[in-house]
Each structure stands twice: as C-alpha cells, then as structure tokens.
Amino acid sequence: MDRVPVKPFRSRDWFADPARSDMTALYLERFMNYGLTPAELRSGRPIIGIAQSGSDLSPCNRIHLELAKRTRDGIRDAGGIAMEFPVHPIFENCRRPTAALDRNLAYLGLVETLYGYPIDAVVLTTGCDKTTPSGIMAASTVDIPAIVLSGGPMLDGWHDGELVGSGTVIWRSRRKLAAGEIDEEEFLNRATDSAPSAGHCNTMGTASTMNAVAEVLGLSLTGCAAIPAPYRERGQMAYETGRRIVDMAYEDLRPSKILTRDSFLNAIRVVSAIGGSSNAQPHIMAMAQHAGVTLYPEDWSDHGYDLPLLVNMQPAGKYLGERFHRAGGVPAVLHELIAGGKLDTSCLTVTGRSIGENIAGRETRDREMIKPFDAPMMERAGFLVLKGNLFDFGIMKTSVISPAFRERYLSTPGAEDRFEARAIVFEGSDDYHHRINDPALDIDEGCILVIRGAGPIGWPGSAEVVNMQPPDALIQRGVLALPTLGDGRQSGTSDSPSILNVSPESAVGGGLSWIRTGDVVRIDLVAGTCDALVEPDEIARRKGEGLPPVPESNTPWEELYREKTGQLAEGGVLDFAVKYRGISAKTPRH
Ligand code: FES
Ligand code: MG
C-alpha cells in the first residue's frame, strides 16, 4: 500500500515494532489460526474493529450479525482489515433490574478493548437505546477514528388495520386493559404485532432518538439513522460505512475533532424537533462529558424548549419508522431547522464535510410526516427544566402533553401553566403496582403520582418507571393521565406527562426523600419551578428521620456502579472515568 496515513497506525506498534520482533511474533501467530497471513497483518493496512453489539440476547441489534458481512466488504474494498469483536449485550426491555446498569459497563469494556488491542479505527454498531451512547462514550475516551452504523428500526407494526408501535402500544394497551376494553390475549397480540421484523423499536423511542442523535453529532453517514433494518439501503449503508472508516483511519479523523459544544446543541434541538426520548438527556450529557464538551443542565430548556415538533411519529404523533425514513429521515428534519435558523451547519462530520454540506438537496416531500418549521405539529414543544425545593434538576418532555391534560391542568385562568396537586408517594414500582388501586389513597384528578428510589443509586441503575398510569377507576372515567414526578426515567416510547430524571435522587438525600403523601406540590411551567409547600422546619424535621431504605446490591457491578456513578442531571457517568480522554495517544506497554 502506498497510501500514507496522517499519523502512523497504532497497530504497527504490535505488528511491526523493530525493537521487539520477539513480541511481534507472539502478537501475530494466533491470528493465523483462522487463515489470516502474516503478510496481511504486516502490510501496514489499518486494522478496523467492528464492535459487534448484536446477539441473541440483544435482539434489537441482532441485524448487525448479518450487516457485518457488508461492513467487512466495505472495509476490505477500501484497503483495511476487519476484526469483529463482541461488546457487552444491552437489551432494554429484558435486562433486570434495568438496562441502565449496562450502559456504563459496556462503555468500560469497550474502552479496554479499543485501547488494549491493535485497533486503528472502529465501526460502532448501534440500535437499542443504550448501545449508541455507550459506544460513542468509549470512542471518545479512547479517541480513535470511529463511525456509527445504526442497525435501523423494525418495519412498521400493524394490528387490525391500525399502526402499532414499539412500547407505545404497551402503554396504550395497558390503559385499554384497565378500562376493560381489551383482554389479556388481545394485549399480547397487539404487543407482538408491533414487532414484525428485525430491528430496534419502530417508534421515536430512545433507540430511534439516539441513532438520530449520532447522525446529527456527525458520527454516521448521512441518512444512516432511519433506514429500517430489513431495507436494502441498510446493507448498502453498512458497506459504505465500512469503506468510509478506512479513509477516516488514514485521515486520523477522530471523535475529538467532530464532537463540539455546537454539535451537541444541534443534537439537543433535533431531539426536540423529532419528539425524541427524554432519555436523550442523560445520554447526551454523558457523551458530552466523555468528549470533554461542556453542556449545562439548563441547555435543555435554553436550547431545547422553544422548538416546534416537526416529526409526526409515535409517541408524540401518528406514524412509525418506515414512513419517517421514506419522508427523508434526519437530513430532512435538519433542513427544517435550517429554515428556522436553528442549526449550526458548519459542524464537521465523519464524511470530512460539514453537516450542512452533507444534507444538500435532501428536503422532505412528505409534509404529512415532516412538517415545515413555520407550520409545525406543535409550537414550543421541547424540554423544560424544572427545579425547586424537591430537586435541583428535573426535566419534562412537553411534546407528549395531551390536549386533555393541558385543558385540565394548564389552563387555570390567571395562572398560566401553573397548578397544584396532592402528592401520592410510592417507594419504587412494586409499591406503586400494589397500591395504585387502593381506594384508601383516594386518588383523584387533583393528585400527582410521585415515585422515589428509582434513580441511579437507589434502583440501582435508574429505572423507567415514572410513567405511572392513574388508578383503573380514573381511567374508566376517562382520566388517562395524571401528572407524575420521580427520580427515575421513563420509556422513550411513553406519552406520559412526567417530571423525571430528578436529581439529586432520593437515595442520596434529594428532596424526594422527605416528601410525604398528602403534601401539596406546586408546579409552574412558566417559571420552571416545582416545590412542595412544606415549611422549612418541617422539612428539617423529616430529614432528621433518615432516608427511605433502598434494596441491597445483588452483584459486584451493582455495588461498584453505586459507588462510582453520578446523577442523571450530569448524565449518570462513572465520574472518575471522565478524566481518561484521548488515551490512544499513548499505546499501551508491551
Ligand atoms: Fe431495544 Fe427498544 S427495546 S430498541
Ligand atoms: Mg427505554
């Protein structure tokens, strides 16, 4: 190969260190046992890792087992040598006590793999919620050239002629079940019909959101995020991604050159415009921390609130992933943000060009799916950051607040967007499920459902439990949602009007630790405040009684996670890990 890399490939230190030819022999020999030749590994071509996130335990990402063949073709054709390896599985729906434990664990494992082996550049295969941020976090820490290949969503789900989307169908069917409109068998049929093919969630849940975020950050090829997993374009995208990462290796185009405060602010705006998941908040904060980019918790309201909802996709809208892709996907949304003056088009991307250059000519032609900036589905539809005596940070996704909810709670004459509610406090989700239908709680339209013990330290891991549905009796009367508040998260596919990701959490002494059932909570969405109307000396007295108990750690990782992980406001990262950045600058010792 006569092509000369901008910087010598780090794999040369393993395979061609003239000072240690004895070690070179050792490093080389075992790769021979599947047919590689010494000449290939010593040719000076870049070794391209394929971080394989798919497996039988990660069904959302399982398509990558197939796609990797096309990725390898691309890598080979462009002059690289592919080496595929597994990353720790993460399956959002199935992992107990929560998949949130695995984001930081997959991160740690991937850092060690990328740093400790002769890998010059990497394809991050993504899909299910946390597989995207964990990969990007690790690539930032190590800082070798990296490109994101999304696996893509499943095909649209249909049931009885109606679109049924991942997750959203569960929340909506639960309400129908509670109202007595469907039985358990129908519930199961609706759920299984929402999953018709390979791929990740087909709603604008956390998976679609985070893959869109990767594309906006400039880490994947243009249009990559939204292509459904079974479409032919997905295989073609895998091939082009494989080709491109080889060039990136030669160009030394690393995450630290791509990820900036401006690219992260673009990502926050896009999450609002697509009606994206509230889980994007901790994940974006976490990726920024590992990239060494300063983001403030308030950036979510300062840059992410006053934006219109543009994408008509569940849970905030009607349609699912296939139509989003056909409507133009992320590049088409970016065109609308440009029209509204809300995109920094100069940010660099993996193509080596700016994001503005990448999307030229990719406007939507489907106005039912992607609305114009000045005629959106909803104005001011982004994220609101709240604070008060109960917490320093909580966030609300306003695009899913239903008209009925707005009418009931946010239309008080003379008190625009302010309301008071009586707290009903639950100690985690088991307590909620046991007691929600207890008539003694006397839950009515004037209540707010509060859940604690659901944060990173309390759960541990932080659970998607804040989207609590009202008692059956209320649902039967047509009250489909009550305000909710909690130190956990909620599913990105949920349409619940919740205040969540509350930090600091109850388990570390945040305000939710002293709130009691019956307290009145005042929420002012204009002022951005949420307070329990409890006198300071009463608060002090309650604090003196100690914190609500949390369950013991059941695994070594749970214990370590609790010891080292921060709060959701800052992304819930392993705090000590943030200082390790750009570690590929030094190759590990022999
Ligand atoms: Fe994996 Fe939704 S559960 S993508
Ligand atoms: Mg989720």
pTM for the model: 0.97
Going from the Cα of 490 to the center of ligand 2, the distance in angstroms, rounded, reads 7
d(CA 220, CA 210): 12
Q: Are strands 484-486 and 498-503 parallel, antiparallel or unpaired?
A: parallel
| Ligand 1 atom with least separation from CA of 92 | 3
ipTM strictly over 0.85?
Answer: yes
**Could you tell me which of 209, 318, 242, 284 has the C-alpha nearest to residue 81?**
242
Q: Give Cα separations from 106 to 102, 283, 412, 491 (angstroms).
A: 6, 14, 47, 20
Q: Are strands 520-524 and 498-503 parallel, antiparallel or unpaired?
A: unpaired
Going from the Cα of 19 to the center of ligand 2, the distance in angstroms, rounded, reads 50
- 């509204």: which residue's tokens? 340
- 């630790």: which residue's tokens? 513
Helix (H, G, I), strand (E, B) or coil at 423: strand
Residue bearing the CA closest to ligand 1, atom 2: 201
- Per-residue model confidence (pLDDT) at position 384: 93
Q: Among 90, 95, 200, name the best residue to mutate to test ligand 1's pocket (greatest count of ligand atoms within 8 A of Cβ).
A: 200
Contact assessment for residue 141 and residue 581, using Cβ atoms and an 8 Å cutoff: yes
Residues with CB under 6 A from ligand 1: 60, 92-93, 128-129, 166, 200-201, 205, 207
**Could you tell me which of 262, 266, 254 has the C-alpha nearest to residue 219?**
254
Contact assessment for residue 201 and residue 207, using Cβ atoms and an 8 Å cutoff: yes
Going from the Cα of 203 to the center of ligand 1, the distance in angstroms, rounded, reads 10
Can the peptide bond before residue 97 be classed as cis, meaning omega within 30 degrees of 0? yes
Per-residue tokens: 216: 């906006």
Residue 179: half-sphere exposure toward Cβ, Cα within 13 Å: 17
The pLDDT tens digits along the chain (590 residues) read 579 999 999 999 999 988 888 898 899 999 999 999 999 999 999 999 999 999 999 999 999 999 999 999 999 999 999 999 999 999 999 999 999 999 999 999 999 999 999 999 999 999 999 999 999 999 999 999 999 999 999 999 999 999 999 999 998 899 899 889 999 999 999 999 999 999 999 999 999 999 999 999 999 999 999 999 999 999 999 999 999 999 999 999 999 999 999 999 999 999 999 999 999 999 999 999 999 999 999 999 999 999 999 999 999 999 999 999 999 999 999 999 999 999 999 999 999 999 999 999 999 999 999 999 999 999 999 999 999 999 999 999 988 888 877 777 776 666 678 889 999 999 999 999 999 999 999 999 999 999 999 999 999 999 999 999 999 999 999 998 999 999 999 988 887 789 999 999 999 999 999 999 999 999 998 899 999 999 999 999 999 999 999 999 999 999 999 999 999 999 999 999 999 999 999 999 98
Q: For the purposes of burial, counting CB atoms within 10 Å of the CB of 444, is it exposed (0-12), middle (13-18) or buried (19 or more)?
A: middle
Q: Among 61, 126, 129, 192, name the best residue to mutate to test ligand 1's pocket (greatest count of ligand atoms within 8 A of Cβ).
A: 129
Torsion of CA 86, 90, 96, 99, to 10 degrees: 140
Q: What percent of the chain has pLDDT over 70?
A: 99
d(CA 381, CA 373): 12
Contact assessment for residue 53 and residue 141, using Cβ atoms and an 8 Å cutoff: no
Per-residue tokens: 371: 């609305």
Per-residue tokens: 157: 């789900």
- Per-residue model confidence (pLDDT) at position 414: 65
- Per-residue model confidence (pLDDT) at position 497: 82
Contact assessment for residue 215 and residue 347, using Cβ atoms and an 8 Å cutoff: no
Going from the Cα of 431 to the center of ligand 1, the distance in angstroms, rounded, reads 26
Going from the Cα of 252 to the center of ligand 2, the distance in angstroms, rounded, reads 34
Alpha-helical (H) ranges within 147-259 are: 168-178, 184-193, 206-216, 232-251, 255-258
d(CA 473, CA 137): 45
Per-residue tokens: 119: 């890998």
As a residue count, the chain comes to 590
73 Cβ neighbours under 8 A, 6+ residues apart: 239, 242
Q: For the purposes of burial, counting CB atoms within 10 Å of the CB of 364, is it exposed (0-12), middle (13-18) or buried (19 or more)?
A: buried
Ligand nearest to the CA of 195: 1
